[in-house]
Structures are given as C-alpha cells and as structure tokens.
Amino acid sequence: PDPLGVHLRAMGIGGGHVAVEAVDVTESHRLARVRRDFVANVSHELKTPIGALQLLAEALLDATEPVGPDAADPSEDVAAARRFAERIQHESTRLGRLVHELLELTRLQGAEPQPAPEPVAVDWVVAEMLDRTRTRATARQVAIAVGGERGLTVYGNDNQIATAVANLVENAIIYSGEDTTVSVTVRSDDEHVQIAVTDQGIGIAPTDVDRIFERFYRADQARSRSTGGTGLGLAIVKHIASNHGGRVEVSSTLGGGSTFTLRLPARPPDDLAATLQSAEI
Ligand code: ADP
C-alpha cells in the first residue's frame, strides 16, 4: 500500500509519450482487509463449537462401547448410534481442519503481523516434516526417502516453511498408491535452496495443473473429496513461498506421478521482513 492510496500504472509508451492511469487502491485495500478480518473472525468463532462437537462424538463413542456379554452383538440401536457418532467425529474433524487452514491462509495474507524472518536449518525442516507426516505415511504404507544436500539454511519463519514442505509431502502420500515411495530431495545453487517432493502417484492432467494452487480447486473432485482434504493445502504452500520471496513449481504427468519443487532464497533478502509484513495476495 502506498501512502497516497494511488497506484500510477503505465499504460503504454510510444512516440516519446507515456500514458499514465491513476487507480485508487485505498478502497480495494480496505475491502481486502475487511474480508480477511471477517474470515479470520468467523474461523476463530467456529473453533469452539467444532471442538465441542468432536468431544461430544468421542463421549458418545465411549458411552456406547460394547462391553460385557453382549459385546459381540450390540443392539441395532446402539450399533446405529455408534455409526452416527463415528460419522459426526469424521465430519467435525474435517470441518476443524478446514477452519484451521482457512485461518492459516488469512494469517498468511497479512491479516495479522507476520513473524520476523530468521535463519532456518533445512535439516530441521525435513525432520519436522517427517514428524508431521509419519502417521499418514504409515497408514498408507508409503515410504519417505530423503536425499540431497545437508546443512543448508533458508530464511523466514520456521513453522511456515515446515508447513509448506509437510503439505507437499502429505499430498504426495495421499495421491499415491500403497507401497510406493515419496522422495524428498534438497539441492542448492548460489541463489536458492530447492526442496523437491516426487511421488509415484496419480499425477495431474495438463488442464488442471495451472489451477491446483487456487483455493478449493481440486483436480479429480470425487477422488479428492474422499481423501478428506480441504482444497486449501497448495494455496497455503503458494502463499508461504511467495511471502518468503520464493516460489513453488509442479511438473506432472497424468498417471505418471508428480514433482512439486519449493524454491526458497538461500540468502536473507534485505526486504524480506517488509515483504512478510505487507504481503497482499
Ligand atoms: P486437497 O486438500 O484437495 O489435497 P490441495 O490444495 O492440497 O487440496 O491440492 C489441490 C488439488 O491438487 C488436489 O485436490 C489434487 O487434485 C491435486 N494434487 C495436489 N497434490 C497432488 C499430487 N501430489 N498428486 C496428484 N494430485 C495432486
């Protein structure tokens, strides 16, 4: 946002003349902030009732746990109550994840001050990612192979960077078959550290590949929905990458697996703090 609330936009240059259009951005910035605050407030308010639903479903499951002589053959009513409670638990967990990710996305969009950038060890990021994805990898029998350079440093917020890499690996696991391997490879050049996540999964069609970073866009609607995802994971990765002066790229073949590469600056950009503060996406 500039102090005048006006952006001068060059319209065209020709014959020694420059045409300039003045665009009032004060109102659009204000509206963007109002929208973000609204989503943040609603998400925050939803957390409590969703938490209560999860606890109640859990209590109902505990209370109807089959015990005693009838354990193997509970009454129809009890069996139905348990089925419903399981469903409530599943849906409220999904709703909880959606609200959590919406809140995270609005935070990344600048509704709240971003933490100051600090040096972050890539080895720590990888270890944290392994921690966060272990349960899902084990459940789906997907191996995670880590390779490449060690001892590298990137700059920014450790939690956000770990979230970005963990989101990519979570997706790689979700969209892969059982008994496959997800490879995480760390490379660097003078300017950047690259963390590439390669899977042997379902891949992405060329028509979808440009859109998967949009909020709520999902390539194969039916299949994606059954994974219990929110459709926000890659939007979050994209915002984290750009907030850090980096980017995320994908190369994929339908049926032939995908590689998502997160590129982050290997040096602290002078204005990274300012970028993190004022990111408007
Ligand atoms: P979701 O919660 O649906 O996984 P994301 O924003 O993380 O949301 O991903 C958006 C869509 O991109 C997914 O629904 C899926 O169609 C596609 N996608 C993401 N990662 C992969 C991958 N590794 N392999 C195949 N498709 C993927």
188 phi, psi to nearest 5 deg: -145, 155
- Per DSSP, the residues of 136-190 read HHHHTT-EEEEEE--S-EEEE-HHHHHHHHHHHHHHHHHTS-TT-EEEEEEEE-S
**Residue the block writes with tokens 């994908």:** 250
Kindly state if the Cβ of 229 falls inside 6 Å of ligand 1: yes
Could you tell me whether strands 143-148 and 6-14 are parallel, antiparallel, or unpaired per DSSP bridges?
unpaired
Q: What burial class does residue 239 get, using C-beta atoms within 10 Å of its C-beta: 0-12 exposed, 13-18 middle, 19+ buried?
A: buried
- Check: CB of residue 266 under 8 Å from CB of residue 153: yes
Kindly state if the Cβ of 50 falls inside 6 Å of ligand 1: no
Nearest CA to ligand 1 atom 7: 233
- Check: CB of residue 146 under 8 Å from CB of residue 122: no
Q: What burial class does residue 25 get, using C-beta atoms within 10 Å of its C-beta: 0-12 exposed, 13-18 middle, 19+ buried?
A: middle
Q: pLDDT, tens digit, for every residue of 92-118?
A: 999 999 999 998 898 888 745 666 789
- Check: CB of residue 192 under 8 Å from CB of residue 263: yes
Q: pLDDT, tens digit, for every residue of 137-190?
A: 999 999 999 999 999 999 999 999 999 999 999 999 999 999 999 999 999 998
Kindly state if the Cβ of 198 falls inside 6 Å of ligand 1: no
Q: How confident is the model at residue 9 (pLDDT cuts 50, 70, 90)?
A: low
**pLDDT higher than threshold 50 for residue 77:** yes
What's the angle, vertex CA 243, arms to CA 8 and CA 167, rounded to 5?
140
What is the CA(40)–ligand 1 centre distance, in A? 24
Q: How confident is the model at residue 31 (pLDDT cuts 50, 70, 90)?
A: confident
The per-residue pLDDT for 71 is 76
CA dihedral 211, 170, 127, 268 (to 10 degrees): 10
> Shortest CA distance to 229 belongs to which of 184, 149, 175, 157?
175
Mutation choice for ligand 1 from 216, 234, 250, CB with most ligand atoms inside 8 A: 234
Nearest CA to ligand 1 atom 16: 219
Kindly state if the Cβ of 122 falls inside 6 Å of ligand 1: no
Kindly state if the Cβ of 97 falls inside 6 Å of ligand 1: no
What tokens appear for 14 in the block? 């020709």
Kindly state if the Cβ of 234 falls inside 6 Å of ligand 1: yes
Kindly state if the Cβ of 202 falls inside 6 Å of ligand 1: yes
The per-residue pLDDT for 1 is 43
**pLDDT higher than threshold 70 for residue 195:** yes
H helix intervals, 11-121:
26-63, 76-106
Q: How many Å apart are CA 89 and CA 60, to the nearest integer? A: 10
Of 33-47, 99-113, 120-134, 190-204, which gets the smallest average pLDDT?
A: 99-113
Q: How many Å apart are CA 176 and CA 163, to the nearest integer? A: 20
Q: What is the pTM of this model?
A: 0.81
Mutation choice for ligand 1 from 212, 213, 253, 260, CB with most ligand atoms inside 8 A: 212
What is the CA(108)–ligand 1 centre distance, in A? 20
ipTM confidence score: 0.98
Of 21-25, 37-41, 134-138, which gets the smallest average pLDDT?
A: 21-25
Q: How confident is the model at residue 2 (pLDDT cuts 50, 70, 90)?
A: very low
The per-residue pLDDT for 39 is 85
Kindly state if the Cβ of 154 falls inside 6 Å of ligand 1: no
- Check: CB of residue 248 under 8 Å from CB of residue 238: yes
Q: How confident is the model at residue 20 (pLDDT cuts 50, 70, 90)?
A: low
